[in-house]
Amino acid sequence: MIEFKQIIAKSISEVVNIDKQELENYIEIPKDTSNGDYAFPCFRLAKELKKAPQIIANDIKEKIQIDETIVEKVEVVGGYLNFYISQKQIVEEVLKEIAVKEQYGKSEIGKGKNIIIDYSAPNIAKPFHIGHLRSTVIGGALYNIYKYLGYNTIGINHLGDYGTQFGKLIEGYKLWGKEYNIEDDPINELTKIYIRINQVCKEDENVLEQCRMNFKLLEEGDQYCTQIWEKFRSLSLKEFQKVYDILGSHFDSWNGEAFYSDKMSEVIQILEKTQKLVKSQGAKIIDLEDKGINTPCIIQKSNGSTTYATRDLAGILYRARNYNFDKALYVVSYEQTLHFKQVFEVAKLLGIDDKYTKGLKHVPFGMVSLPTGKMSTREGNIVKLEELLTEAIERAKQIIEEKNADLENKDEVAKKVGVGAVIFNDLANSRIKDEVFDWNQILNFQGETGPYVQYTYVRTKSVLEKAQYIPTIEEIKFDKLLDESSKNIIKLIYNFEDILIQVTEKEEPSILSRYLIDLAKAFSNFYNDNKILVEDKDIQNARIYLTYAVGKVLKIGSELLGIEMPDKM
């Protein structure tokens, strides 16, 4: 497919003698379509060319040489150069690409590059609640999109299966284990123990100290503590898998914190050799004040046990050696921003190649709360994810019963709509924003929601079913799609691959979510403005094929987000 940005950048480069790749990065897509298909902001060149942006824009317009069959006109508006692409050309390019490429928008730009995505990471023996949903679906979407762009993508579920919390659970189990039916209902029963032992720890410092000692014993391989821990882990993973099956989540590695238990001593040895690891109040720390971080990074506690930071550093060392990664993304809430600043800074002392430390990136996201406030496992104030997804499916089924009681495969459709609604709701806005979970918004078929995108896709399928055929690309007269509503769709479809690239540049799946809403709205306008099944065969063929193209891109885009599309609703 013709790369219009590259053509424009090359033409400008020949006038101003600046690298075309740099110029291509400056090119924008105007929000107002009256300002053309692409805009080049000349103020970017003002300092280098020592001229006012408008003068630069006029100079370039006078001297630029560009194929008029591709770019119909170039206009100057303020300090911008606006480029208008030949509509017939872009229609032809897009629809021919749709015809020949089953996986439209797929590319090999990531070929040969390894991307690690560390996401989901629920805590063993704790409920898999709505707060874990964000990491799971953001990480899952990034995993799918990187893979679609040709990257060798490794999804890691860095389970929270180590730490002082297990010392608490072990102590609670020792004290009251026989009172709870852990085998039949592991997560709920272990949660009860966890809440109960936390309360006792608040009241009795000696019990808290014993919990810390239990974790120390676990680290040292104590048989009793290890046996209990393995039981908690095994039972928890079976419960978690139920949720992952509903969400369609996939991981290449389940190596959690415990996997690094025998790898942390090497980290401590390496850091000791740097002479940066010093003792403070019995603990071993790295002072990071000279790096602008006022809180020291604790590597080993005063009782000799390790920390999250030690385990993450062991993880970085292991991943550098075994995955040769170009990027390692940590999809973890913004509450851990300081932790990752510390860990990434200390990682520079591990003696690994700069390539790896430069590739480390925290992908923070906002918190999920209920209308009643923040959740806490310790306080027992949570919404379990399996229950939430089950309710979403049930609510979707009720809506289907009201709107289309005769629909076949209602259960299957309800699952796709309910789960899709929850996933889309999580990915609809910038990941850094906090989110209040609101049922009324999530399952709305009219608003900017997952069900709306699914409904639009189903509408495209309905049109094709009524037509009873999809024309071949050779039957399409491209000049039959030059109206405004067709043009808006074509431009959006053309930009699909660029949208996916933007997602990976910013680690922001909401860019794709917003795109799907825009495409769904554009099709709705097209559908309202144009009768698709008409007597003029050339017009009908063109409109049917455009409908097919919209459906194809909506399906691909939604599946990359982790959302399945029903054929009927």
What's the domain range around 402? 385-429+439-561
Last residue of a domain, one of 369, 395, 412: 369
As beta bridge partners, residue 76 has 81
349 and 395 assigned to the same domain: no
In a domain, 285, yes or no: no
Shared-domain flag, residues 415 and 553? yes
Kindly report the CATH number assigned to the domain that includes residue 24: 3.30.1360.70
CATH assignment of the domain containing 190: 3.40.50.620
Among 85, 103, 127, identify where a domain stops.
Answer: 85
Residues 351, 424, single domain; the answer is no
Contacts of 25 (CB under 8 A, 6+ apart): none
Please report, for residues 282, 283, 287, the alpha-carbon distance to residue 305 in angstroms, rounded to integers and kept in the order given.
12, 9, 19
The rounded radius of gyration (Å) of the Cα atoms in the chain is 28
> Domain for residue 325, yes or no?
yes
Does 123 lie in the same domain as 80?
no
Residue 548 lies in a domain: yes
Residues 539 and 450 both lie in one domain: yes
Of 85, 107, 141, the domain-final residue: 85
Same domain, 335 and 483: no
3-state SS track over 161-230: CCCHHHHHHHHHHHHHHHHCCCCCCHHHHHHHHHHHHHHHHHHCHHHHHHHHHHHHHHHCCCHHHHHHHH
Say yes or no: 365 and 469 in one domain.
no
For 85, the 3-state DSSP assignment is strand
Residue 298 placed within a domain = no
Residue 112 lies in a domain: no
- Residue 22: CB atoms within 10 A of its CB come to 12
The token pair that represents 61 in the structure block: 């317009």
Helical ranges in 428-536 per DSSP H: 439-442, 450-467, 484-494, 496-506, 510-529
465 and 419 in a single domain? The answer is: yes
Domains identified in the chain, total number: 3
In this structure, is residue 510 part of a structural domain?
yes
Assess whether 345 and 396 both reside in one domain: no
Contacts by 176-179, CB closer than 8 A, 24 or more apart = none
pLDDT string in tens for the chain (569-residue length): 899 999 999 999 999 999 999 999 999 999 888 899 999 999 989 988 999 999 999 999 999 999 988 999 999 998 999 999 999 999 999 999 999 999 999 999 999 999 999 999 999 888 888 878 999 999 999 999 999 999 999 999 999 998 888 999 999 999 999 999 998 889 889 989 999 999 999 999 999 999 999 999 998 899 999 999 999 999 999 989 999 999 999 999 999 999 998 999 999 999 999 999 999 999 999 999 999 999 999 999 998 888 999 999 999 999 999 999 999 999 999 999 999 999 999 999 999 999 999 999 999 999 887 666 555 544 455 678 888 899 999 999 999 999 888 899 999 999 999 999 999 999 999 999 988 777 777 777 778 999 999 999 999 999 999 999 999 999 999 999 999 999 999 999 999 999 999 999 999 999 999 999 999 999 999 999 999 999 999 999 999 999 999 999 999 999 999 999 999 98
Q: For residue 106, is it within any domain?
A: no
Q: Please indicate, yes or no, whether residues 208 and 319 belong to a single structural domain of this protein.
A: yes
**How many CA atoms lie within 13 Å of 173's alpha carbon, on the beta-carbon side?**
23
389 and 240 belong to one structural domain: no
Q: Is 102 a member of any domain?
A: no
**Are 364 and 395 in a shared domain?**
no
List, in sequence order, every residue forming a beta bridge with 331; answer none if it has no partner: 363
Q: DSSP string of 309-368?
A: HHHHHHHHHHHHHHH--SEEEEE--GGGHHHHHHHHHHHTTS---HHHHHHEEEE--PPE
